[in-house]
Amino acid sequence: MTPAIPVETANVSAMLARGRTLVTPVLRAAIDRLAPPMNTVAAYHFGWIDVEGNPSASDGGKAVRPALALLSAEAAGAAPEVGLPGAVAVELVHNFSLLHDDLMDGDEQRRHRDTVWKVHGPDQAVLVGDALFALANEILLELGTVDAGRATRRLATATRRLIDGQAQDIAYEQRGRVNVQECLDMEGNKTGALLACSVSIGAVLGGVDDRTADTLETYGYHLGLAFQAVDDLLGIWGDPLATGKRPWSDLRQRKKSLPVVAALAAGGPASERLAHILAADANRDEKTDDIADFDEEEFASRAALIEEAGGREWTSQEARRQHATAIEALHDVDMPAAVRAQLVALADFVVVREG
């Protein structure tokens, strides 16, 4: 995919690194509040300790959301530190959802390590997830300002939408057909809502009005949809070395992701052939006749059908459309030029990344 604007990768890396540097100590202090063994379980989840409890420097993820929250404060003309409680809060909510989603989805690996429910059991995954959500609210509201209340309200709404998205995802997996709009709605809730909140939360803490915050959220929401469209492409055609996932991982998991849904909606011979294959899958018993271990050629041929039906191209274009909509929203907000450049660079990074 060719982005409209030259990517400044160094810029994005520095921005993400700054986010991690500022947020990690505050996050650690927050986790220390939890009753044992939840503090230890959370430290494992964040990659600060290994399974045996020894210090570790695992990959804690890209931490896009906290980096955005700091930039968000700067967009309002405030110091990045003004956005810090918001950065910690969105990272806590994001990780609350990872803990619960991994459990519900039965995912055994995250960031190349066993997931919390796999290591510490389902109860700890539920409990620690709950605790991170409570902490997110506490940390924001301890500021005691009207703006903190406004920020927390946005976070609560984003979190409810995140949960709505996961509920839709689960419901759609159990259903025969899902249309493109339903898929976009689900991805907007699951990925767009919290990214949107990350882009407004620092600015709200910096005192911007609701209209400006809403416009910043428009950027973040479409950034999230662009991110998710690329994720859906990588989930089928991504390089396993870059994504850290099995080849064709979304196809193995029967995900009704955008390329699949768009291919099914396209009509034509390849689309009909795909529909036929997926209908046959639906009649299999997931436990006794799992498609996940079908051979490579079977998935390669399915991926080719999706591409032939136009699902790959449509999703690429969708990523570009969402990218453009995100950038456009930025025109409506006054902000320092450097902050605008960073937000643009981030949007570009999101659509060209390979993992």
Tell me the H-state helices in 174-209.
180-187, 193-205
82 to 111, contacts with its own copies by CB under 8 A? 96, 100, 103-104
181 contacts its own copies (rule: CB under 8 A)? no
160 contacts its own copies (rule: CB under 8 A)? yes
Which residues, 6+ apart, have CB-to-CB distance to 50 below 8 Å? Answer: 44, 56, 58
131 contacts its own copies (rule: CB under 8 A)? yes
Which residues, 6+ apart, have CB-to-CB distance to 130 below 8 Å? Answer: 96
Taking CB under 8 A as the criterion, the residue among 26, 141, 275, 277 binding its own copies is 141
277 contacts its own copies (rule: CB under 8 A)? no
Q: Which stretch binds its own copies (CB under 8 A): 153-161, 201-209, 222-230, 310-318?
A: 153-161
77 contacts its own copies (rule: CB under 8 A)? no
- Asked if the bond preceding 36 is cis, omega within 30° of 0, the reply is no
The structure tokens listed for 297 are 């050629």
Contact between residue 246 and residue 218 where contact means Cβ atoms under 8 Å apart: no
Q: Which stretch binds its own copies (CB under 8 A): 137-145, 256-264, 274-282, 301-309?
A: 137-145
Q: Is the dihedral of CA 337, 341, 342, 343 positive or negative?
A: positive
23 to 62, contacts with its own copies by CB under 8 A? 33-38
How far apart are CB 131 and its own copies at their closest, in Å?
A: 5
Taking CB under 8 A as the criterion, the residue among 59, 81, 108, 142 binding its own copies is 142
307 contacts its own copies (rule: CB under 8 A)? no
135 contacts its own copies (rule: CB under 8 A)? yes
DSSP letters for 215-260: HHHHHHHHHHHHHHHHHHHHHHH--HHHH-S-TTHHHHTT---HHH
The structure tokens listed for 258 are 């955008």
* Residue 338, CA atoms < 13 Å, CB-side half-sphere: 7
Q: Which stretch binds its own copies (CB under 8 A): 165-173, 230-238, 255-263, 300-308?
A: 165-173
Q: Of the two residues 149 and 244, which places its CB atom closer to its own copies in the complex?
A: 149
How far apart are CB 55 and its own copies at their closest, in Å?
A: 23
Q: Of the two residues 148 and 226, which places its CB atom closer to its own copies in the complex?
A: 148
∠ CA 33-35-36, rounded to 5°: 120
Taking CB under 8 A as the criterion, the residue among 146, 241, 283, 287 binding its own copies is 146
Q: Of the two residues 146 and 241, which places its CB atom closer to its own copies in the complex?
A: 146
Question: H-helix or E-strand containing 109?
Answer: strand 109-110
Question: What distances in angstroms separate CA 233 from CA 1, 101, 115, 312, one per listed residue?
Answer: 11, 21, 24, 7
126 contacts its own copies (rule: CB under 8 A)? yes
Give the Cβ contact number of residue 113 at 10 Å: 18
Q: Of the two residues 224 and 238, which places its CB atom closer to its own copies in the complex?
A: 224
Q: Of the two residues 103 and 305, which places its CB atom closer to its own copies in the complex?
A: 103
How far apart are CB 84 and its own copies at their closest, in Å?
A: 17
Which residues, 6+ apart, have CB-to-CB distance to 245 below 8 Å? Answer: 235, 238
Q: Which residues bind its own copies (CB under 8 A)?
A: 33-38, 96, 100, 103-104, 122-123, 126-127, 129-131, 133-135, 137-138, 141-142, 144-146, 148-150, 152-153, 155-157, 159-160, 163-168, 170-171, 189
